[in-house]
Structure 1
């Protein structure tokens, strides 16, 4: 991490700490120590901790949107395969989130103020994600694309929570089988 520029080190340290401990429990001093920098350096790049949290979530949202881009690029004109690719992206990522869970869900729980800029990033991301999935469901010719989008979204979100709390075994394979069953309903 020390070879990265300061801003990237700060963001990497913030991500690691926010994921492990949550936003509220992590102070700027802890981020500075993990990034091997000073609080003053953090405040040169981010005016407030809220600004740092917001930027971290913007980066995470961009990573998730990139998964949509990859699914579309890897399976052009094949929306069913695109949807399965997204489900595989979530299923494959489950081990990484098993300790603390989905960073968006966790952050929403810690940011109850709907006007908070970081919460707005999450809400915009989730709306865009839903719109893109709806487009895929419609292009796949699935019956009632809005209902199908809701079902798939519930499964993707629920799989992350179920994996985190350990209530269901074999979450990834089960998620993929359920998504396939929805896609086969045509």
Structure 2
């Protein structure tokens, strides 16, 4: 198996296990067993578990933001694109394997002790905030609205992760609509 295939198999296993069970409860031997990549090869690819966690978060970030953008891009009007973020959150929260925000979860587990994990989390959250700022600007809405919508979305993510319901997305969407209407 070449390095690219082994890396992808290891990351697939890491994503499933880290997201499903938590990072600290999953050992490299668990990743080996789930991926079929030997422990020796795994450590060649990722010399430390922290590097595997970093790669998992980095790859998940790309996929998560791509899925969000694909959904939002299907909306025609710029203002509808802003609100579509919250519709997409509701769809994400409804997925059977939803376990909350991977970055918030990772930060909660390792943020105090892992600069690599903290950097990945900050990068993801910053990119999401910038994405919202871009949508708000395209809609011709006042720029401070983006930060308010960001806080609504983040709060919905945390609450949905705890309650395992889509209601936080619905409530955040309602609040977002009210904010957008008030800022027109």
Normalised by the length of structure 2, the TM-score is 0.84
- The C-alpha deviation readout for 1:23-43, integer Å capped at 9, x for no partner, is 111110011111123211211
Displacement over 6 Å in runs of 4+: none
Q: Which residue of 2 aligns with 1:13?
A: 13
Structure 2, unaligned stretches of length 5 or more? none
Q: Which residue of 2 aligns with 1:163?
A: 160
1:168-179 map, 5 Å: 170-179=167-176
Q: Displacement, 1:168?
A: 7.4
Q: Which residue of 2 aligns with 1:60?
A: 60
**Residues 72 and 173 (structure 1), Cα distance of their counterparts in 2 relative to 1, 3 Å cut:** closer
Q: Which residue of 2 aligns with 1:40?
A: 40
How many residues align? The count is 180
For residues 6 and 167 of structure 1, the distance between their equivalents in structure 2, rounded to whole angstroms, comes to 33
Matched residue SS, 1:134:
helix
Q: Displacement, 1:114?
A: 7.5
Normalised by the length of structure 1, the TM-score is 0.83
- The C-alpha deviation readout for 1:47-76, integer Å capped at 9, x for no partner, is 221111111101111123214542564346
Contact 2:68 2:88 (C-alpha < 8 Å) held by counterparts? no
**Residues 99 and 63 (structure 1), Cα distance of their counterparts in 2 relative to 1, 3 Å cut:** closer
Q: Displacement, 1:89?
A: 1.8
